[in-house]
Amino acid sequence: MLPHLDAAYNLARWLTRNPDDAEDMVQEAYLRAFKFFDALRGADSRAWLLTIVRNTCYTWLQQNRPRDLAAPFDEDIHSGESASADPATLVLKSASHQMLKGALEELPTEFREVVVLRDLEGFSYKEIAEIAKIPPGTVMSRLARARERLKQLLCNRLKES
């Protein structure tokens, strides 16, 4: 389980938006994983562990910060209009690492989660669906919405600069 410590912390950090809370969540998740280690029969240990980290974070968020779990409907994202570049292109061309980090911080938890698992941790749609306990189609739609929102956030920040 130790080789997956960085991935566990990374996911917890993005979900909780706080390094201290993330450390607590990873510690709690590792304790839970140790307790239920016999349930790991032949499964992918990384995905299994990150599922526990995710569930630990969501339980904690639900108890301590329920407003962070609410994803407001954003009319701009669903209007069908789009800017000319995707988030990755914007970041490569002119946005700094801090700008991207700030934009990721502004995403609702359910969107931030799929971006972190897919783009930062490299999980497949199927693996993310298993970790998040949602259908693969939901993973794809959340990822598309998250990327669209990132694009808008980054475009707005570039216009302000």
pLDDT, one tens digit per residue, over 34-48 is 898 877 776 678 888
pLDDT, one tens digit per residue, over 105-138 is 899 989 999 999 998 899 999 999 999 999 999 9
Contacts of 67 (CB under 8 A, 6+ apart): none
Q: What DSSP character marks residue 123?
A: -
SS (H, E, C) 49-76: HHHHHHHHHHHHHHHHCHHHHCCCCCCC
CA distances 80 to 1, 75, 77, 145, Å, are: 43, 9, 7, 11
